[in-house]
Structure 1
């Protein structure tokens, strides 16, 4: 199913981003882009959680969570690994029957959206928002990563820079 393939791909990329960030500076996990925004590790946990908030309702399942209260790279990696394993185990057949409406909350707003609208206009954009914040915080902290690390598709020669292009 495209939903799980999308999230499994980007969870693998998130794992790489987190590993790069932690190896560069273990303290980067508490950094924020702005004082009112989540720090890097919470952004990662929220992105991971959105894969389950997105996929479970569309597969006719209750939303599960593998999050812990621990703010450490190790706990986020464990959450990510458990989430990826769970998503990979959902059979494509679970997505055959369309869910008429998916009820959720967006902050303090209640939502009830049709399946396609829920995924395309709410769930996937929210995942990518938090995923992008992990990347942005890491880049702001000086972690040497680029678009190829973000999406896993691009490739640039060693030493390439858009400044010199």
Structure 2
């Protein structure tokens, strides 16, 4: 469970940090106000770019906490710049670096309980990781990437993959 979560989340958080660095360079080179991208939404009922990045970190860190039976850590959602978002990504990576394979003993069968708008959801850890935490993580990361790509930031698959 450790190998299926921590290295995956860490790799893609690092990649997202690189994507944000390219976005920051793009706005500087094009003379665009950073707020134009930070607050951009793909559609009016979707969350803005900044929130997409925040949720990407949340699903990684909170997912690891839940798998290990820990109290779920919360990061305050106060970022208003690319630099602050990159700092949040670095903080999430540092936090994930504090987990060890031993922390995940029994995680595949540990019951994870989520309280959602639709009600309470219960599932074993293996199902939670593969059917909830990772898909949510990648949904928000992809949406952040797509917002930047839609706005002309020169990004490709290698940027997304962190290759």
Identify the TM-score tier after normalising by the shorter chain: 0.7 to 0.9
> Displacement, 1:82?
1.1
The CA RMSD over aligned residues, in Å, is 1.5
Q: Deviations over 1:121-157 (max 9, x none)?
A: 011000000000011000000000001101124xxxx
Listed as ranges, the gaps of 5+ residues in structure 1 are 154-165
Partners of 1:109 and 1:76 lie apart in 2 by: 31
Verify the 8 A CA contact 2:54 2:77 in the aligned structure 1: no
**Do residues 147 (structure 1) and 161 (structure 2) align?**
no
Counterpart among 56, 68, 76 of residue 47 in structure 1: 56
> Displacement, 1:51?
0.3
Partners of 2:136 and 2:116 lie apart in 1 by: 10
Equivalences for 1:104-123 in 2 at 5 Å?
Answer: 104-123=114-133
SS in 2 for 1:75: helix
Partners of 1:64 and 1:108 lie apart in 2 by: 22
* TM-score scaled by length of structure 1: 0.86
Counterpart among 93, 112, 122 of residue 84 in structure 1: 93
Residue 21 to residue 106, structure 1, CA distance change in 2 (3 Å): farther
Question: Which sits farther off after the overlay, 60-69 or 143-152?
Answer: 60-69
Equivalences for 1:1-165 in 2 at 5 Å?
Answer: 1-2=2-3, 3-25=5-27, 26=34, 27-98=36-107, 99-153=109-163
* TM-score scaled by length of structure 2: 0.87
Partners of 1:148 and 1:66 lie apart in 2 by: 28
Verify the 8 A CA contact 1:51 1:127 in the aligned structure 2: yes
Partners of 1:107 and 1:143 lie apart in 2 by: 35
Query: How many correspondences in the alignment?
Result: 153
Question: Which sits farther off after the overlay, 84-93 or 59-68?
Answer: 59-68
